[in-house]
């Protein structure tokens, strides 16, 4: 599917190296002027409307989608048509995933949930991003996590002088170091096992390495898990941010970017509320500091550790059931590279004090996502694999929001990044409240104090108390 340059290159390689494995029967293209003509000796048989009919007529085994520069929604629509056939479905990744524009059979991969989301590739302002990262020492907390690890990979492309990979778990830092040594052997990188709450240790790290840019991705993120230990969520997400941010200001770091979440908006969970307090803290730190402090807020990230896709895949592998909390539950989704690239872009745009909101597109119904994933795995939902509704978990809500009702957004120079119009925070008062909450250890008392700090926090702990 796609009788363009990518399709032609792929056909030549298939003819040259894969003659015994794949025989190409024809092309599909929506350009009416191409239909009936030949490309590299192979005929353009018809448009997307004829895919099902042609697949049956020619007894096709496999459909390859070779349209790397086409918009996400178009790809999504074509996949839906192709899924109505019994053919194996493979796809050539998007242009931004293909290095140096080369096209190869080795890059073909099965169609995945990311393709069904229909999201367009991110267009980065590489000049602006490279400008604030090139030749700099960049520190990334939570560097072994899904988002932190991808930020490491994206920063590595921008010619930094040195990367400081900070994480609490030695295995995850070991793994990201292994990856980076393979991908960027010449780049200077330092693995650092440290807890972001350890002020003395963080201070010593910044004293020694003098980073100019900090990406703060370390956090507890599992919503139901944090309902069971509110004090721990406060210590990691609020105290951890406080230590890193204050130490960054003290060492005159140029840019500080904190990773936030849509769950910080009108929070119903301890995790979301602690991230909102961390946002407020970062926003307040901007006053009276030479460091540009910003937060970047986005929704769920496909394939990140502990997210819904890996869970569904495990459940499908075991034969089901696939568990969904509510038929109507919706979430915003984006891919890990997309979120990380936009975080870098937001850092380039930072004047200081902003909470940036990423354009997450339309929210996706989790029930539909489960059905799509079962289909992609070659099973029939409800017949081969059951979908089981389990009810809301502690701290969860049916719909996430990227803004509260009183917040508006302002456009920025990037089409996928907005600035949330958030009221200024009283820095001294916030600092006093943070000192108070850090003294509290009992869970319900922590929750009451969080409500005092964030009046829009409405705890959803009914499921927790059952």
Give me the CATH number covering residue 75.
Answer: 3.40.50.720
352 and 451 together in one domain:
yes
The three-state secondary structure class of 34 is coil
107 and 135 together in one domain:
no
131 and 66 together in one domain:
no
For residues 11-45, one letter each, b for 16 or more C-beta atoms within 10 angstroms of the residue's C-beta and e for the rest, the string is beebeeeeeeeeebbebbbbeeebbeeebeebebb
DSSP readout, 365-434?
Answer: EHHHHHHHHHHHTT--BTTTB-EEE--PPTT--SB--SS-TT--EEE-SSTTEEEE------HHHHHHHH
Domain boundary residue among 111, 137, 169?
111
Q: Output the six-digit token pair for 452.
A: 């005092």
What is the per-residue pLDDT across 97-116, written as a single tens digit (0 to 9) for each?
444 445 566 667 777 766 76
301 and 429 together in one domain:
yes
pLDDT of residue 153: 94
Residue linked to tokens 């003290």: 250
Selected catalytic residue, list 168, 263, 371, 397:
263
For residues 240 and 197, is the Cβ–Cβ distance under 8 A?
yes
Q: Is 73 considered catalytic here?
A: no
Question: Sign of torsion, CA 88 98 331 300?
Answer: positive
In a domain, 121, yes or no: no
Residues 6 or more apart whose CB falls under 8 angstroms from that of 415 comprise 123, 359
Q: What is the mean pLDDT of the chain?
A: 87
pLDDT of residue 72: 75
Least confident of 116-125, 382-391, 435-444: 116-125
What is the per-residue pLDDT across 351-378, written as a single tens digit (0 to 9) for each?
988 999 888 778 888 898 888 888 877 7
- E strand or H helix that includes residue 161: none
pLDDT of residue 424: 85
341 and 391 together in one domain:
yes
161 and 268 together in one domain:
yes
pLDDT of residue 306: 65
102 and 133 together in one domain:
no
Query: Chain-centre distance of CA 356, in angstroms?
Result: 15
pLDDT of residue 405: 46
Q: What is the mean pLDDT of residues 106-131?
A: 74
> Which band of pLDDT confidence, cut at 50, 70 and 90, is reported for residue 188?
very high
pLDDT of residue 165: 98
What is the per-residue pLDDT across 13-45, written as a single tens digit (0 to 9) for each?
888 776 677 889 999 999 999 999 998 899 999
Q: Residue 89 is part of which domain span? A: 5-111
pLDDT of residue 281: 96
Output the pTM of the full model. Answer: 0.78
């Amino acid at each position: 599917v796609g009788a363009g340059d990518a399709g032609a290159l792929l056909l030549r390689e298939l003819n040259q190296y894969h003659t015994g494995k794949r025989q190409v029967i024809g092309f599909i293209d929506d350009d009416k002027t191409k239909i009936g003509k030949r490309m590299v000796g192979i005929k353009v048989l018809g448009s997307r409307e004829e895919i099902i009919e042609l697949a049956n007529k020619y007894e096709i085994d496999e459909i390859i989608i070779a349209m790397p520069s086409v918009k996400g929604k178009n790809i999504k629509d074509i996949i839906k048509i192709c899924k109505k056939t019994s053919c194996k479905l493979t796809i050539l990744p998007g242009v931004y995933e293909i290095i140096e524009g080369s096209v190869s059979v080795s890059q073909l991969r099965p169609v995945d949930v990311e393709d069904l989301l229909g999201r367009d590739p991110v267009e980065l302002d590489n000049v602006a991003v490279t400008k604030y990262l090139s030749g700099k020492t960049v520190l990334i907390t939570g560097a072994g996590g899904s988002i932190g690890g991808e930020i490491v990979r994206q920063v590595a492309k921008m010619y930094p002088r040195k990367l400081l990979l900070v994480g609490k778990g030695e295995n995850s830092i070991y793994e990201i170091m292994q990856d980076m040594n393979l991908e960027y052997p010449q780049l200077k990188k330092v693995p650092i096992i440290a807890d972001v709450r350890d002020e003395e240790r963080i201070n010593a790290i910044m004293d020694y390495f003098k980073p100019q840019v900090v990406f703060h991705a370390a956090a507890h993120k599992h919503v139901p898990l944090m309902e069971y230990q509110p004090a721990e969520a406060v210590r990691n997400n609020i105290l951890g941010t406080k230590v890193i941010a204050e130490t960054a200001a003290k060492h005159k770091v140029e840019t500080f970017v904190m990773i936030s979440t849509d769950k910080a908006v009108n929070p119903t969970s301890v995790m979301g509320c602690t991230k909102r307090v961390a946002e407020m803290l970062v926003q307040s730190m901007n006053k009276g500091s030479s460091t540009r402090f910003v937060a970047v807020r986005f929704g769920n990230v496909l394939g990140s550790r502990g997210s819904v896709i890996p869970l569904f895949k495990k459940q499908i592998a075991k034969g089901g059931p696939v568990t969904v909390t509510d038929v109507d539950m919706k979430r915003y989704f984006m891919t890990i590279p997309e979120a990380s690239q936009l975080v870098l872009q937001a850092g380039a745009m930072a004047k200081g004090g902003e909470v940036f909101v990423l354009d997450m597109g339309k929210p996706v119904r989790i029930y539909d996502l489960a059905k799509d994933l079962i289909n992609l795995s070659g099973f029939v939902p409800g017949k081969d694999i059951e979908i089981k509704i389990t009810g809301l978990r502690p701290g969860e809500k049916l719909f996430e929001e990227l803004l509260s009702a009183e917040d508006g957004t302002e456009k920025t120079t990037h089409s996928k990044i907005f600035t949330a119009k958030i009221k200024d925070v009283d820095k001294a008062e916030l600092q006093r409240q943070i000192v108070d909450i850090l003294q509290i250890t009992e869970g319900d008392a922590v929750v009451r104090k969080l409500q005092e700090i964030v009046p829009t926090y409405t705890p959803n702990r009914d499921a927790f108390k059952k």
